[in-house]
Amino acid sequence: MSTQGSKAVRSPRARIERIALGSDRAAKIMAVRASIARVAEVDSGWREANVVARSVVTDAPAMPLTDWELMSGARQRALAVRKILIEQNLEADLYVGLEGGFHSISVEGDWHTFLRGWAFVTDGERDSFGMSPSIIVPPAIVKNVIEGKRELGLVIDEVAGARDVRSRQGAWGVLSRNLITLAMSYEVALIAAFAPFYNVDLYKHVSPTDRRLC
């Protein structure tokens, strides 16, 4: 049995006590908590971390249609919750934003649209992005959202015959028959985005994220 994992647990780099999330949606809160639990398996300094969730308002489009819009939206959410906590005289070790939507790409002339999500994490000095898996979206749903200029949440509610699906399994659950839920997809994005903060030795010589994205 390898001792690499146990060594990582015995040697935490810093305690993470509070993580602020720029959303009050249940699926996103669940994703942050699940990702904290996963990180705590390799860094014991995360074991006592708690989540502070705040609803935020940003300039991001209601339905992001590109990776750039998704990344920008996630960043805006993290910065917005940081501003809210500062105004409330509170601090967090990390500030998190999550954004989901579409990204389309042409391969040999055929367009493919994927559902995916992005996470953005900052401690005020170092920034990091992480992306969820991608799942292809049926053409009828793509047309309804893009050409019909409708939010995916509303379209998915109609497809699923339910209300507020995005607060539970999300479009991910509908498309994958609940093999992958919205919270699960964001969990992967968060574990990736958190990497510079729990894999410190590897990332300490990497320059902070380019801040020109807005």
DSSP assignment of the chain: --SHHHHHHH--SS---EEEES---HHHHHHHHHHHHHHHTT-GGGTT-EEEE-----SS-SS--SHHHHHHHHHHHHHHHHHHHHHTT---SEEEEEEEEEEEEEETTEEEEEEEEEEEEE-SS-EEEEE---EEPPHHHHHHHHTTT--HHHHHHHHHTSS-GGGTTHHHHHHHTTSS-HHHHHHHHHHHHTHHHHSHHHHTTSPPPPTT--
pLDDT of residue 10: 38
Please state at what angle helix 139-146 crosses helix 152-160, rounded to 10 degrees: 140
pTM of this structure: 0.87
User: According to the model, what pLDDT value does residue 90 have?
Assistant: 94
Check if the beta carbon of residue 136 is closer than 8 Å to that of residue 113: yes
How does pLDDT run across 50-102, given as a tens digit for each residue? 999 999 999 989 899 999 999 999 999 999 999 999 999 999 999 999 999 99
The stretch 7-16 carries a mean pLDDT of 57
Identify whether the C-beta of residue 107 lies closer than 8 Å to the C-beta of residue 157.
Answer: no
Q: pLDDT at position 207, please?
A: 54
Token digits of residue 56: 């935020």
Distance CA 203, CA 195 (A): 8
Nearest C-alpha neighbor of 132 from the set 101, 157, 153:
101
pLDDT one-digit tens code per residue, 139-198: 999 999 998 888 898 898 898 888 888 777 889 999 999 999 999 999 999 999 999 999
DSSP annotation string for 16-65: --EEEES---HHHHHHHHHHHHHHHTT-GGGTT-EEEE-----SS-SS--
Q: Distance between CA 205 and CA 152 in Å, rounded? A: 40
Q: How far apart are CA 96 and CA 82, in angstroms?
A: 9
